[in-house]
Amino acid sequence: MRKSMSIQFRDYDMIERFSKDIANMKGEFDLVSGRKVVDAKSFLGIFSLDLSAPLTLNAVTDDDQAFTVFQRYAV
Residue type, 11: D
Whether this model's pTM surpasses 0.85: yes
Cβ atoms 29, 2 nearer than 8 A: no
Per-residue model confidence as pLDDT tens digits over 12-69? 999 999 999 999 999 999 999 999 999 999 999 999 999 999 999 999 999 878 989 9
Q: What is the DSSP string of 41-61?
A: T-HHHHHTS-TTS-EEEEEE-
pLDDT of residue 65: 87
Phi and psi torsions of 21, nearest 5°:
-65, -40
pLDDT of residue 64: 79
pLDDT of residue 17: 97
